Amino acid sequence: MSGAGTPASAGSADAAEARRRLGDALAALRRIIGSQRLDRINAERSQVAIGFAAVAVLGKVIDDGPLRMSDLATAGRIHPAALTRQVQALEAEGYIERSPDPTDGRAAVVRVTPAGRSAHRRVQAANDAIMAEQLSHWSADELVDLVDRLEHLITDLRTAPGSRRARETEDHA
């Protein structure tokens, strides 16, 4: 949808330029979120020395755990090898515990520890403080609008290419 609520023509020059700018903005956002500098700032403020990816895994275990590693990988949309690295880092810090799955000894179950809950709260507080500083000139309405649009974008980008068009064709048939 364009700003006026009408569909952006996929072939228009304005839409193509907007998609290019969106791609550039998403790439910049990825670099910022994944930056070691931001991880260092967050670690200093929270006194928790884990990176963004580990924080996301810890949050998923807090929200949905205890979880089997395979279920955590699916829920967190993370490759099992990458998940193993994050779980090992969290385990080394004492933030999560791994134990054999009682129903399947080949699988492991991950659960948060009290130290993990505390660390996650401190990281969230540090993240909120950083965002409050960086976005202090934004109004609440602007932030809500941004979040709404980002959530819409995420939903659309998670939809397989071509599936939306097929659904729309069926809806109008």
What 3-state class would DSSP assign to 93? Answer: coil
> Is 145 part of any domain?
no
H or E element that contains 45 = helix 36-46
pLDDT in tens, the chain (173 residues): 444 455 555 678 899 999 999 999 999 999 988 888 888 998 999 999 888 889 999 999 999 989 999 999 999 889 999 999 999 999 999 999 999 988 888 889 999 999 999 999 999 999 999 999 999 999 999 999 999 999 999 999 988 787 766 555 555 55
The domain that contains 98 carries what CATH number?
1.10.10.10
> Is 124 part of any domain?
no
pLDDT at 169: 53
> Is 104 part of any domain?
yes
Domain count, the chain: 1
Q: What is the dihedral of CA 160, 166, 168, 170, to 10 degrees?
A: -140
> Is 165 part of any domain?
no
Let me know: does 122 contact 47? Beta carbons within 8 Å: yes
Structural domain boundaries enclosing 57 = 52-113
